[in-house]
Structure 1
């Protein structure tokens, strides 16, 4: 497995010399479509082995094994011929594959994945070098395939510091913690309606895998997930992620959850478990809000997702959802109505207040995890403030949050008691009457005391500045995108 060492660095070093690659986000997107085809090719070889009648949806000349693999005979495409093939044959063919409702998911994903994909590289010789590095990966080797899953995770992590793409990546410590607490069971279906690169799905599968003992369990495991992702690039990353994790039929769809009337959902649309970090900060237009009852029609994206979650959670189902502070203390009509529905119809039993820099450097917005189930109306809600671990002033790219940092919550979870530190509530229980009548649906309880000013070392100060700049750039990109969509155009 020596060829895995420095995999990303080798690709980066080659791409650095290509005039077509502009920045980290494009570099990762370029790697992503090639990785998808390489992983898909390995899957197709498995399917052909187990089914003599298997027919690929990809025409023979466009299958990875027939154009990308270099058998060292000197006949492999390179230079302008390779560039010409990729730009004028491969991409147009894959983008225009004939797909309809009867196309199996494991075939349809090829066309969906390539619908908006791009080849940014302009140098065919460098492109050949990149393809050769990717082709060295051996996904038929279980250990190598498993080890590559960790490398792929690092590629996704890099997205967090590659501008606005970070919005699709929830730190793995957070998704793993939420999946552990939700306790998956064989036979349940879990959904994420804005699944980004598939972090929650992978964490769910990792927990569920521990319970797989029979072939029936294996089938239930493979069919236990459902995802929707609106944006093309994270959708591609998610599909590749799930193929890497052994899901032959990744039930993830390229669509916009919010463009569906919530009142039209039936029992069949409901799921046992929802794990999500809905997009927040976005402002939705009237045509989106029209899909929601008037009293719940917020213009804030995260609020609308909360409504979708409530309409799609089965009786006795469980949910864990990340929401910004603004949802907790917001007092506009839609937010109050959403919180009223949540408390009246669902059991909001726990809110975990997360430290401010969990999503650094993408955003510094403070977030929370809401745990609730569809068993009975809320009677009481516990709040718990998770403080920064000892020795940390701030999470960062070099010092990210780890699963072990959730240990205090897990210890408290099993043996709940109220905690006060330095005169501030750290853990406290509120009755539903207190939350509704006394506090007017203000769920902003057990918040963080205001921190004293930090004096930082010069290098740490520079690092912090760079992260804050990256975060600000990401927020500017998001605002510009919203303004552009409101104007009905696109920034070239």
Structure 2
């Protein structure tokens, strides 16, 4: 299967359709069809294991019964296909009745399809797209795992579509964080802003080798939890987890910040929390009321840090990606949140990532924060991960890879202080007293200088748009804080 051109081929077909406006709609169109195709593939496996299995999807609406072209001249196309999709398929799937007793692997159909739409207006072009997607055999082991490449192509297209400043975490970063927090079978792993499921897939890969029995498999099935409030990433996440063997993806479609954090009980807490909180967002004043008054802020990343503190089990572990805004802030809510963090948790490691890890989608410098709930912080190690040899910048064609974390992995257990050739600290341990004295400004092992590089015109343009988006986010944050203050008067 020529995966490199698969997504582009589908997009090119849809560009001929007057009903699909832009890459975001094209990707949404591809996503719901991929989901139904993948779900049908999983149902074949469930039927094989349990002959009594009955699909929650009515027979005429199952992928195998309307989408598959058997080349006998009976497959729907043109106006007939368009009529079926618009007036039968979507209304039926959106009206599926589910209850609290409905297994998640069945309820997920309604949950992911209720916010999807068919944008195509040309039934003949729709048939072409359906046939292309149906040509992928997700029941085949090799092609099932090849979905990773299709998935990556979808993510790159989604990023290029500029969806509201969303940036997806590179696989190398998710794999490294999971390697360091080391989830164990039987533990509950959560990502409260899971996007398309990168951290959760990395978790599954880490837990899979620990599965030895049927009971172990059941533990894995109930170990993963996610929440995503945007429809398209939620659908992609569910599809991705289904393909990675999670038959009942517990991925909620909603806002993790919508509940009062003080209402969470022990049953709502997790052993491992891994995430890349969205930053720069504008939070509604109604949501702010879910947080203690001295921790209320319009910055969504800060609120997610508070949420983590309230939903982490005793002895639990966290690995989180944070921008410099949280790390360096020394006033207001950011100071209060960090004061609580260091008092209640052991913040043992902070890794400063090299620039351009998320390039060209954003140039904001990011950090990895690792802590556990084993007691208050006594000391924190800071480690600066330098750009790998031969690299001046990461880019689309030269992304960060897991092997680039090798120096950090080697240092992790040794915990030795390192001074670089220019006399700057590359790795250093700071006692909590020193961090408190600095009001928790965590810029302790920063880069001594920035490396300049002449980029290709398209990358320069992408960087310009990324920096413009950052400026817009800062302005939005400031305006949100002003509005919040005015509303409280």
Same fold (TM over 0.5): yes
RMSD across aligned positions (CA): 2.2
How big is the shift at 1:52? 3.3
- 1:177 matched residue in structure 2: 176
SS in 1 for 2:163: helix
- 2:304 matched residue in structure 1: 305
Q: Number of matched residues? A: 480
- 1:39 matched residue in structure 2: 38
SS in 2 for 1:350: strand
- 2:141 matched residue in structure 1: 142
* Structure 1 portions without partners, runs of 5+: 488-492
- 1:467 matched residue in structure 2: 462
How big is the shift at 1:371? 0.2
For normalisation by structure 1, the TM-score amounts to 0.92
1:203–1:338 Cα change, 3 Å = same
Question: 1:120-199 alignment to 2 at 5 Å?
Answer: 120-164=119-163, 167=166, 169-199=168-198
How big is the shift at 1:384? 0.8
1:97-140: per-residue Cα shift (whole Å, max 9, x none)? 22232322111111111122122222211110110011111122
- 1:490 matched residue in structure 2: none
* Distance in 2 of aligned mates of 1:306 and 1:87: 42
* Distance in 1 of aligned mates of 2:473 and 2:63: 35
How big is the shift at 1:169? 1.6
Contact 1:164 1:478 in 2 (8 A): no
1:200-255: per-residue Cα shift (whole Å, max 9, x none)? 00001111112222222222122211111111110000000001111110011111
Contact 2:278 2:300 in 1 (8 A): yes
- 2:257 matched residue in structure 1: 258
- 2:361 matched residue in structure 1: 362
* Structure 2 portions without partners, runs of 5+: 484-489
Contact 1:14 1:126 in 2 (8 A): yes
* Distance in 2 of aligned mates of 1:111 and 1:360: 36
1:403-438: per-residue Cα shift (whole Å, max 9, x none)? 1111111111121222222132221111000000x2
Segment drifting more, 66-75 vs 51-60: 51-60
1:60–1:193 Cα change, 3 Å = same
How big is the shift at 1:354? 1.1
How big is the shift at 1:42? 1.2
Question: 1:219-234 alignment to 2 at 5 Å?
Answer: 219-234=218-233
How big is the shift at 1:294? 1.3
For normalisation by structure 2, the TM-score amounts to 0.93
* Distance in 2 of aligned mates of 1:308 and 1:107: 29
Contact 1:160 1:361 in 2 (8 A): no
Segment drifting more, 344-353 vs 221-230: 221-230
Segment drifting more, 285-294 vs 165-174: 165-174
Question: 1:399-478 alignment to 2 at 5 Å?
Answer: 399-421=398-420, 422-436=422-436, 438-451=437-450, 454=452, 456=454, 460-472=455-467
* Distance in 2 of aligned mates of 1:415 and 1:40: 46
Contact 1:99 1:108 in 2 (8 A): yes
1:299–1:439 Cα change, 3 Å = same
* Distance in 2 of aligned mates of 1:336 and 1:473: 27
* Distance in 1 of aligned mates of 2:97 and 2:210: 38
Contact 1:161 1:470 in 2 (8 A): no
1:163–1:32 Cα change, 3 Å = same
* Distance in 2 of aligned mates of 1:370 and 1:413: 13
* Distance in 2 of aligned mates of 1:134 and 1:105: 25
How big is the shift at 1:92? 1.9
Question: 1:310-325 alignment to 2 at 5 Å?
Answer: 310-325=309-324
Contact 1:3 1:136 in 2 (8 A): no
Contact 2:192 2:226 in 1 (8 A): yes
